[in-house]
Amino acid sequence: MADKPNYFDPLTLSKVSSLLLRARYVVEGLISGLHTSPYKGFSVEFSEHRQYAPGDEIRHIDWKAYAKFDRYYIKEYEEETNLRCYLLVDASASMNYRSNGVSKFDYACYLAAALAYIMLNQQDLVGLVIFSDGIRRQLPPRSSPGHLRAVIDSLEQTGPSGDTDLGRTLHHIASQLKRRGLIILLSDLLDEPPEVMQGLRHLRYQKHEVLVFHLLDHDEIAFPFTQLTQFEDLEDETRVITDPRAIAADYQEQIQQFIKDYETMCRRQSIDYTLFNTRTPLDKGLLKYLAWRGA
């Protein structure tokens, strides 16, 4: 009997014709691999910290706050019966890069569809914004039965193109949203980090809870090139021919610093940051996220 396909594998998922089916495979497989419900925590919004007192449950201690202040603080939450989640999907031309048949944009769509599937199944409201140098498609947050189809249709009908202007787009979104919610950004973050962080800080200033899914292709991280290669900027079409071996060490140092800087800056703003390698099975990143939400 043949082994069941691993639908967490991005390349396998890409061979499934319907994005709705891909979302269902990821979510059902994820649920079957958990002992507790992955929905736990989606409808619980962080409210504030207070100092630990005897009798408080240890599981609510904020260990990040302890590491920073050397004191125990408890996370207090308020129930939100209708959590509003906004999925922000980067569709700039750089998201079209792929080394194994699955582009960063494909991967972002799998994740966005799976997250929408989960939240709509528990009656949370889900909105969608697809952007590059500006907003290209936008769906207001809804929880109706047919809304998942609308989210998936929007993702399937959009292809990556255009320049990135992430900072300005985030400011625009922050100014539009009147009620606080959960913001999930899916992007390669290939823009000026100070401008990106200003946009993210604007969202935090508006009291939104913000999560960053940083999507990078495996080759962007590992830089496995060894032969004379022409590199092309997918957004401005600049082309450079070089020997990768001459720049590999410097590139590796810079890409790791790029990742570390974003992780550090997000942590300082109480923004949860998760790096996704597009060859990594989707369950790993989602499990990390769901564990954090349910902690």
Q: pLDDT by residue (tens digit) across 224-247? A: 767 666 666 656 667 777 766 767
Contact 209, 289 (CB under 8 A): no
Domain ranges of the chain: 16-41+82-294, 45-78
Q: Residue holding tokens 């189809």?
A: 149
- In angstroms, the CA 251 to CA 189 distance is 17
Instruction: List Cα–Cα distances, 265 to 52, 91, 269, in angstroms.
Output: 27, 23, 7
Note the CATH number of domain 16-41+82-294.
Answer: 3.40.50.410
Q: pLDDT by residue (tens digit) across 100-110? A: 888 999 999 99
Contact 201, 175 (CB under 8 A): no
Q: What is the pLDDT of residue 164?
A: 85
Nearest to 75 by CA among 90, 67, 64: 64
| Mean pLDDT score, 271-276 | 92
Report the percent of the chain where pLDDT is more than 90. 42
Burial of 27 (0-12, 13-18, 19+ CB in 10 A): buried
Instruction: Output the pTM of the full model.
Output: 0.77
Mean pLDDT of the chain: 80
Band of the pLDDT at 140, cuts 50, 70, 90? very high
